[in-house]
Amino acid sequence: MSLLSNTAILLDKELRTEFRSRELLTTTAVFILIVLVLFSFAINPGTEEARQFAPGLLWLAILFASSLMFQSCFLREQTNDTLSSLRLAVSDPFAIFLAKLIANTLFLLLTELMMLPFFAIFYNIPLWSKLPVLILVLFVGSLGISIAGTAISAISAQARMRELLLPLLLLPLLTPVLVVSSLVTASLLDREPIVQWKGIGFLAVFDLIFLTALWLFGEYLLEE
């Protein structure tokens, strides 16, 4: 019970600090936009094959963007050693992770939704009719990215070369998310759309496994 109330209080703090500056949201959205534009130069977006590649590129852009976005997740708790005061104040340190990963998922989802219209226009892929399922796919995928990303950013924040280290540790770990969500999105946006429930289920399993691991081992990540 106190885990949930602590999480809610901390989530309020995460959202409040972010929406005050909106630094993370704007920079991440612009980053995704840049990558999508650059990809459209690297491949010819008008062709039929591009339709197959585009969802993968979208997820690759999200993956890279997330590894930039999560940099500050634990780093900014170091400025005034607020991580220690949080650890002293919460009854379960898992609340710290839970609040951060919910906030990260929300931020990621928000930037993705901002970028979807551009994606649809650049790659000439109509999304409107499949939007609810697409949002579901974006959600389960981004949740997985955020769970693993929050855990890894707690590690990288305590090492040297942390800006470089975070993507190095995180991206290989996210291989399953990239493989499955790209394919599920591609078949969803195909001329004859198919909803791959098995893939969506697999992503949910990924989320569940990493959430359990974080619940079991999270407190050790914050040890001093």
Partner 1 sequence: MGKRIVLGAVAILLVIAAAYASFYVAPEERTMGVLQRIFYFHVASAWAGMDAFLLCFIANLLYVWKRDQKYDWLGVSSAEVGLVLTTVVLITGPIWAKPAWGIYWTWDARLTSTFVLWLLYVSYLLLRTLIEEPERRALLSALFGIFAFIDVPLVFFSIRWWRTQHPAPVIMGGPGSGLDPTMNKVFLFSVLAMHVLAAFLIVERYMLEKMRSEVDTLRREAEAQ
Partner 2 sequence: MTALRIPPTGLRFENIDKRYGGLFALRRISFEIAPGECVVLAGRNGSGKTTLLRVAAQIVKPTAGKLSFPGADAALPANGRPGYVAHTTMVYDELTAEENLLLFGKLQNVENPAARAEELLREVGLMERRDSLVRTFSRGMRQRIAIARALIHRPSVLLFDEPATGLDPPGITWLANSLREVNRAGCTVVMSLHGESEISALATRAVQLDAGRVIADTQSGASLHSILTFGSA
Q: Enumerate binding residues for partner 2 (CB under 8 A).
A: 2, 6, 9-10, 13, 16-17, 20-21, 79-82, 84-91, 223-224
Structure-block tokens of residue 104 = 């990260």
The item of partner 2, partner 1, none sharing an interface with residue 41, based on CB under 5 to 8 Å by kind, is: none
- Output the CA torsion sign for 70, 6, 114, 178: positive
Q: Which residues bind partner 1 (CB under 8 A)?
A: 148, 151-152, 155, 158-161, 165, 168-169, 172-173, 175-176, 179-180, 183, 198-199, 202, 205-206, 209-210, 213, 217, 220-221, 223
Q: Which is nearer to partner 1, 134 or 166 (CB)?
A: 166
Distance in Å, CB of 29 to partner 1, minimum: 28
Distance in Å, CB of 15 to partner 1, minimum: 27
Q: Which is nearer to partner 2, 7 or 105 (CB)?
A: 7
Mapped onto helix, strand or coil, the DSSP state of residue 199 is helix
The item of partner 1, partner 2, none sharing an interface with residue 85, based on CB under 5 to 8 Å by kind, is: partner 2
Distance in Å, CB of 10 to partner 2, minimum: 7
Structure-block tokens of residue 200 = 């969506």
Q: What share of the chain is helix, strand, coil (3-state, %, to 5)?
A: 80, 0, 20
Angle, CA of 118, 68 and 162, to the nearest 5°: 170
Question: How far apart are the C-alpha atoms of 142 and 145, rounded to whole Å?
Answer: 5
Q: Which is nearer to partner 1, 86 or 157 (CB)?
A: 157
The item of partner 1, partner 2, none sharing an interface with residue 180, based on CB under 5 to 8 Å by kind, is: partner 1
Question: How far apart are the C-alpha atoms of 30 and 120, rounded to whole Å?
Answer: 16
Whole-number Cα distances in Å, 205 to 201, 202, 208: 6, 5, 5
